[in-house]
Structure 1
Amino acid sequence: MTLSVDLFWSFRSPYSYLATPRLVALEAEYDLDIAVRPVRPIALREPDFFEKRGDRWMGYTLTDVVRLAEFLGLPIAMPNPDPVVIDPATRRAAQDQPHLTRLNRLAVEAVAHGSGLAFLDQVSRLVWSGEPWSDGDRLAAAVAESGLDLADLEARVAGDPDARDAVIRENESALETSGHWGVPTLVFEGEPFFGQDRIDLCVWRMKQKGLQAR
């Protein structure tokens, strides 16, 4: 019996990026369907989130992210451009978010094509490479690696962008209902497992419920 687990995930979360290759391997190893549910970053869902945590929290997080990437053997550099546009006057997320809106709508369409996890994997590798990911054909090449065509995805999104935005809102509501707010979060049978360091714990729980190797 194929088990299903929801994955709440954000393009601006380095931990989401660092978790994704392991999730790809997990879905390949086990009779498991990982239902990709992209959400907006916490900087948009809770505009004062980083202010409330202060400089020490951010300093530690940056240190931990670099260390974890080294441990996992994955490259990482600050996104260029940042998927979230920051208003320099307020140091908070700006009202207009062209990069994040584009990426999330594309991710929703990729999910509809049955390639959501592959899309997240390839595109997040590009975004977190430090290369100017929105320039030239870089994004198109990354999307092609996931087995999809960027021009086709964008044409479909353009036909009804509001419908894709509605999916994002539904995902965010479901994340909140699960009892958590952060990403990446796996939710299995209503139980949330927050963070890339809880993947193994989620696998343990799923094995209790019959998770089998393919």
Structure 2
Amino acid sequence: MTRTVDVFWSFRSPFSYLATPDLLKLGEDYDVAVQFRPVLPIAVRSKESLFSDDKRRVRYLMLDMVRRAKFLGMPFGRPSPDPVVQDLETFEVSDEQPYIYRLTGLGVEADRRGKGLEFAFHVSALIWGGTPGWTEGDKLAEAAARAGLDLADMDAAIAADDPMPRIEANQAALDASGHWGVPTMVFEGEPFFGQDRIETLRWRLDRAGLSKQ
């Protein structure tokens, strides 16, 4: 029976973007099924657990995301527009969210079609890789096409079959894993949080005898 690594991931998370190339390699290097499980970002699903009047946390995250991208040699830029409509001075999250629910639903649909991580890779590179106006024109459709998917067909699918129950199930599974942030990888009940914990996960998979080499 194939063993599984669950990947809890968000389109608003720069660290999810930075983890995606290494996550794709897991499926190449190990006899595991890498299950893409997109969740809504914490700013939408539980903002009180992350944001406060202390701005040091946000300042550090902004510093670290740029530094980590440079370390990995990956293109990086603040998203325009932000996938979550939020005032980063007050941390107020708008009631109107035209992007993140659609993106997360598309991620669920991409996973249903067997291309979740591929879709995440190309779309997050569009959002976080420094491309301005990622919502404009055919940019998102072209990113989906690079993953071997048809955006219009996927939009029709999530309009016909609400992905929120699957998103909520992913969020419940993330909570049950013992963590709350993204990216979190879970292997046989053991969570590995953060882009910089993939090497530790690989060590665990090696110990489990799952390397293809």
How high is the TM-score relative to the length of structure 1? 0.93
Q: What is the letter of the counterpart of residue 152 of structure 1?
A: D
SS at match of 2:6: strand
User: What's 1:189 paired with?
Assistant: 188
1:150 aligns with 2:151: yes
C-alpha distance in 2 between matches for 1:45 and 1:21: 26
Within 5 Å, give how 1:13-92 maps onto structure 2.
Answer: 13-52=13-52, 54-86=54-86, 91-92=91-92
C-alpha distance in 1 between matches for 2:26 and 2:16: 15
C-alpha distance in 2 between matches for 1:33 and 1:20: 15
CA contact (8 A) 1:38 1:104 kept: yes
Q: What is the letter of the counterpart of residue 116 of structure 2?
A: G
Structure 1 residues 174-214: Cα deviation after superposition (integer angstroms, max 9, x where no partner): 10011000000001111110001111111111222221216
User: What's 2:115 paired with?
Assistant: 115
CA spacing shift, 1:76–1:89, aligned 2, 3 Å: closer
In the TM superposition, residue 96 of structure 1 has moved relative to its aligned partner by 2.6
CA contact (8 A) 2:8 2:185 kept: yes
User: What's 1:127 paired with?
Assistant: 127
SS at match of 1:192: strand
Q: What is the letter of the counterpart of residue 156 of structure 1?
A: A
User: What's 1:178 paired with?
Assistant: 177
In the TM superposition, residue 117 of structure 1 has moved relative to its aligned partner by 0.6
CA spacing shift, 1:85–1:158, aligned 2, 3 Å: same
Q: What is the letter of the counterpart of residue 199 of structure 1?
A: I
Within 5 Å, give how 1:161-176 maps onto structure 2.
Answer: 161=162, 164-176=163-175
In the TM superposition, residue 64 of structure 1 has moved relative to its aligned partner by 1.1
C-alpha distance in 2 between matches for 1:104 and 1:180: 19
1:206 aligns with 2:181: no
C-alpha distance in 1 between matches for 2:177 and 2:5: 12
C-alpha distance in 2 between matches for 1:62 and 1:87: 15
In the TM superposition, residue 87 of structure 1 has moved relative to its aligned partner by 5.8
Q: Tell me, which stretches of 5 or more residues in structure 2 are unaligned?
A: none
Q: Tell me, which stretches of 5 or more residues in structure 1 are unaligned?
A: none
Percent identity over the alignment?
A: 51
SS at match of 2:47: coil
Give the length in aligned residue pairs: 212
Structure 1 residues 99-150: Cα deviation after superposition (integer angstroms, max 9, x where no partner): 0011011111100100001000000000112321110000000000001111
SS at match of 2:80: coil
User: What's 2:160 paired with?
Assistant: 159
C-alpha distance in 2 between matches for 1:186 and 1:159: 30
In the TM superposition, residue 88 of structure 1 has moved relative to its aligned partner by 8.5
Pairwise CA RMSD: 1.7
C-alpha distance in 2 between matches for 1:196 and 1:136: 31
